[in-house]
Structures are given as C-alpha cells and as structure tokens.
Amino acid sequence: MTTLDRRETRTTGAAHDAAAPLPLPLPVAAPLAVLAGLAMLAAFPPYGVWPLAPVGVALLAAAAHRRRLRAGAGLGFLTGVALFAPLLEWTNLHTGVLPWILLALLQAGYLALLGAATAWVSPLVDRRRVVWPLLTGVLWVGQEALRDRTPFGGFPWGRLAFSQDASPLLRLAALGGAPLVTCAVAVAGGLLVTAAWRDWRQPAGQWRPVAGAAAALAALLAAATAVPAGVRGGGDRVTVAIVQGNVPRLGLDFNAQREAVLDNHVNATLTLAGQVAAGTQPRPDLVVWPENSSDIDPLRNPDAGYRISQAAEAIGAPILVGAVLLGPDAGQVRNAGLLWRPGSGVDLGQMYVKRHPVPFAEYVPLRRIARMVSAEVDRVRTDFVPGATPGVLDAGPVTVGDVICFEVAYDGIVRDTVTGGGQLLVVQTNNATFDVAEARQQMAMVRLRAVEHGRAALMASTVGVSGFVTPDGRVDGATGFNTAAVVVRQMQLGDGQTPATRAGVWPEVVLAALAVAALAGAAVLRRRREGAPG
C-alpha cells in the first residue's frame, strides 16, 4: 500500500467517523429527560393534561437515543425522579419524607432500565426509522410489566394508561386493557419523536415524513375513538347508594377514631333511610360503605355489629361494609368487604378478604431489615394477611365484583371479579391518610377498569373522592374531598365480556415479548457491526 493509499484510507475513515450517528449533546439531553418526567406528570390527575403523556415519552426517547447504556439509564432515571417524586408526594403526608423518597427512587429505577433499553435499540431505529414508534410502545409495556410485579408484587401506580382517563385512547382498554392503552400512548410518543428527529437545516423533503407521522397519529386517535365502549350484556338496572361518612380528622390516627368513623357511616345511612321513607330518595338495592368504615371488628364486637344491623334494618337493603377483622391467627388482621343483610345480619358466605395487602403499609416484609432503614415501619404493628379468592359477592339483586383500595391498579385482580360473575365493579377505599390528588388518580383507574370490562363501576371512599362510573368511562355524582356525602344512582348491570376481559394477560405478554425480541435483535445488529471490517 502506498503512502497515498494510506492517506486516502485514513481520510475515508475520518469521514466515516464524522458521519457516524451522534446522540443529542448531553447538556440538551439531560434537561429533555427532566422535561419528559414533568410532561408525563402533568398528564395525570389532578392536572389531567393527557396529551402531554406522549410528549413526555417522545422527549425521553430523543434524550436516550444513540447513547451508551449507562448514559441512557441515567437519563431514564432523571425522567423517573421528575415523574414519580411529585406524583407520589401524597405518600409522605403522614409517614415522613424517607418512605416517599425510597418509593420514588425505586420506581425511577424502572425508567432507568427503560432509558438503557431505549439506548440499546438505537441501531434498529437508525436502520429502519419507521419502527421507532412500535419499539417505543413495546419497551414501555415491557417496563411496566416488570414494575407492576416486582418487588413484593409490584406497584403499578403511574402507568401511562392511568393518565388517559379523559383521552380517546381510553377506549382501547376494551380491546387490550391497560397494556394496550400504555402501548398506544407510547406509540404516539414514538410518532412525535420520529417526526421531530431530523436535520431541520435541510428543508428539502423534510415535511413529508412529518406529514406521515401526523397522519399516523390522527389514524391512531380515530381508531381508538371508533372502539365501542359501553355495558356488555345489558342486564337489569339497580339502585345503589354510596355512603361517604368522612372521618373526624385526616391522618394515620384515623384508626384511633374508629368508633366515630363507624358512627358517621351508620348515621349517614340512617339519614338516607329517613329520606327514603319520606319519598325524597329511592330505596337502594345495595348500599356501599368504604374500606375502613368499621375498623372495629363487627364479628367480635357486639356493639359494632348491632350498629351495622341497625343501619341495614333501617335502609332495608344489604350493606357492603369495609371492615378490619381480627385473625385468623393471633397477631394477624384482614382487610375485608362484608355483606350485611337486613334481618339476618352478616353473611359469612359472601365475604371478600383483600388479596394484595400493600407492602410496608399493611404488612412489613423483611421487617428487621426495614427497621434499619426507617423506624416508621413499626407504625404497622400487625400484618394484614391476604385472602385467597376473588371478590365476587352475591348481594341478591346484583353480583358485586369487589376490590379494595390499591387493588384497582392490578389487572388480574379486577379481571378475576368479572370472569367470576361480577356484574358491577366496586372499589372500596380509604383515602384518609392521603390527599385529593391520590383520590383522583385512583378514580382514573376506576374509569379505565369500567371501559376495560364493559361494567358500570363505583368508588366508595371514607373521605372522597367517591362516585359512579359508567361503562364508557364517564364519572357521575363525584363527591368532594374530606366531606360527608351520600350519593344514590341507578346503574345498569353487565354480564358479557369485552375482548380485553377474554384476552386477559395475553396482550401484555405479546407486547412484552416483542420488547424482548427487539432487545435481542439490537444485540444481533450490534454484534454484526462490531465484527464488520473497519
């Protein structure tokens, strides 16, 4: 090889290196990652600006594209902190700052994995730009599938799907549940970044791909709007009353006010019974009290049992009571929904025990180790034990699909009540230790579940927000926060199944499998590039 040949080779190599794809400069990418988290935060209640969710997805995708794995992970972590720290701020209201920080950092760690995965699949995007939206969608589903299950059963709060309660994309829940809605939001974000990622200094032909991405985004929204949403099966109509008795004061010590809280719900029901007798309210077929409406075990405390029976007799309808029960063994308690009938009292054959107690709130795993991190864990003196069967309760005129509090965030727990025969979805919750933002975020989940399964639904809270949800996701009769209220509505029962109900976990499995395939495909492409000459 001559000197000139060597020179030409070096020149060609230098030109190749200069033309190699480069990521955004880090001083640009880092602020974009923070903005990504803040944009997604604004999509969730109480802000509810749902179009910002795909914007946040797009910003993170742009920030992590073409970066090394460590940098991608770091940028994803920044996004996670910006999202989860303020989103979960309600967790520190009564338990202190440390548990909130630890939870937010743990959740941010999953977005760090997403950032690394986004960086890893960059060669696939650079080879076929058209796949960017789909890659973005399946990676988000894969990340949420992992976060929803680990550790200690996972923490699904903050899924992209739960930011879309007022969005046209919500209707996709009837086809594939929360995973499909998350995928659609992330695909929309992928379309945005695909349209924006180009050299805008070269105007020739730049608008064609932008127009294509805009058309695809419009088609996605149109397709979602066209998905039918409504009651499945068209059963009878029943009259249901939600009793929100309120508590004397918010905070963890609402347990110290147990008798007052129970009296609040009894007295509100007695007042409703008086209105029914006067003809100003229809007689309900079912009355729903929230979680923790009787923290005095009514099966062991005769006075508590008498008060509930008094309310049931007066209203002339069964009451679904949220109660804390002692046992089954010493030092254990259960979080339960009890059906209390007029005349006969508690129906032990129709009782639901919460299947997914919240770790570090209702029970403490690894208590000795956890105590080294924070002594706050000892506020949980007695561990709640989980139930074993879905919350399908025969209340007579209606078969209830009951879930308790955070269980509404878990796909399988809600679906089990529908496949078990639930005609009406009921979420019993207690928001006395949180704030209105948490309550509204939870109501957004109820809206998604109603559409997902084609069922009318309701959320009954001790302090609010309570309300009814139609099968197409509209909220009716929502109450204020930290107030006493009684709301009565007619609800149409459902007995059919949506495609999402029938499919179960399979949409998530397929989308997560595509994410794994994308990671494997990127590994193959990277290996080939490393082995290529030059």
Catalytic residues: 291, 354, 405
How far apart are alpha carbons 254 and 477 in whole angstroms?
A: 25
Q: What is the DSSP letter of 480?
A: P
Q: Residue 330 is which amino acid?
A: A
Strands 485-492 and 237-244: antiparallel
Q: How far apart are CA 415 and CA 68, in angstroms?
A: 40
Of 82, 153, 75, 151, the C-alpha closest to 114 is: 75
The CB-based long-range contact list for 342-350 (8 Å cut-off, 24+ gap) reads 342/309, 342/312, 342/313, 342/315, 342/316, 342/317, 342/318, 343/313, 345/305, 345/309, 345/312, 346/298, 346/299, 346/305, 346/308, 347/318, 350/393, 350/394, 350/395
Strand-pairing partners, residue 87, are none
Q: Are 53 and 40 in contact (CB under 8 A)?
A: yes
- Asked if residues 62 and 32 have their Cβ atoms less than 8 Å apart, the reply is yes
Residues in Cβ contact with 346 at an 8 Å cutoff, skipping those fewer than 6 apart: 298, 299, 305, 308, 338, 339, 340
Q: What is the Cα Rg of the chain in Å?
A: 26
CB 396 within 8 A of CB 375: no
CA distance 123 to 191: 17
Provide the 3-class DSSP secondary structure of residue 362.
coil
